């Protein structure tokens, strides 16, 4: 405030004649506009940086989603392959068991035939008679 007023010896207040207030207003306005433009440029730059970061993050999320979906599909494919392999092995086991059962039945039949063949029955009867 003391800059605006000059107290002279007669106790009267007079404005300083060598100070142009319009020039100060223009300078202040220019400073404000310059500051505003600089801040706007900074904000636009920060906005672009944030937009780039967001785009990068969206790209990364898309890549991760694709990898996850591929992994899930691979696991499903693997599960299907394993189930098919298990079914195939079960069928092979059934066939082997059926073949084994048939072989065992044939061997038992052969044993019974050999044991109770007419020659043996005759031998048994002949031995018994003696």
Q: Where are the domains of the chain?
A: 20-125
Q: What is the pLDDT along the chain (130 residues), one digit of tens a residue?
A: 444 444 444 444 444 444 455 555 667 777 888 888 899 999 999 999 999 999 999 999 999 999 999 999 999 999 999 999 999 999 999 999 988 988 888 888 888 777 776 665 555 555 555 4
SS3 assignment for the chain: CCCCEEECCCCCEEECCCCCHHHHHHHHHHHHHHHHHHHHHHHHHHHHHHHHHHHHHHHHHHHHHHHHHHHHHHHHHHHHHHHHHHHHHHHHHHHHHHHHHHHHHHHHHHHHHHHCCHHHHHHHHHHHHC
């Amino acid at each position: 405030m003391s800059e605006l007023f000059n107290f002279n010896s007669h106790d009267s207040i007079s404005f300083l004649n060598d100070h142009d207030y319009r020039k100060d207003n223009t300078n202040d306005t220019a400073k404000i506009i310059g500051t505003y433009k600089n801040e706007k440029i900074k904000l636009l730059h920060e906005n672009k940086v944030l937009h780039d970061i967001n785009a990068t993050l969206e790209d990364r999320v898309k890549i991760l989603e694709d990898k996850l979906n591929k992994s899930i599909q691979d696991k499903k494919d693997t599960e299907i392959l394993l189930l098919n392999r298990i079914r195939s092995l079960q069928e092979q086991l059934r066939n082997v068991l059926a073949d084994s059962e048939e072989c065992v039945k044939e061997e038992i039949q052969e044993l019974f035939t050999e044991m109770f063949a007419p020659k043996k029955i005759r031998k048994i009867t002949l031995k018994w008679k003696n």
